[in-house]
Amino acid sequence: MLTLPAEFLTLISPYAALFSKRVFNHVQLLVTGAMLTPAKRTITAVLRIMGRQDDKAFHKYHRVLSNDTWSALKASPILLRQILTVLVGNAPLVIGIDETIERR
């Protein structure tokens, strides 16, 4: 079982609802490894950097991203909220539309 810092868990815990508990454990390992991998971020490279290259269940990690039980579409609003929180914080977000563009 991977033990992660509380600050990191705060960032990735909103995504837990998108995966089963068992699969989310794999997701945590893959996300952590992806951040640590210096070169090409393949599943194999991620598992190597995390010391899991000899795991008998190596193939399960490959299935995490290819399995259709999670949805990138459902993950996108979570990510957008996190990005806006970092960039905007508690300030009001103003989006303007320039109506001076000539319509054809």
Please report, for the chain, the start and end positions of each structural domain, with discontinuous segments joined by +. 6-70
- Position 12 scores a pLDDT of 93
Tell me whether residue 35 is exposed, middle or buried, using C-beta atoms within 10 angstroms of its C-beta: 0 to 12, 13 to 18, 19 or more. exposed
- Position 11 scores a pLDDT of 92
- Position 39 scores a pLDDT of 83
Q: What is the pTM of this model?
A: 0.73
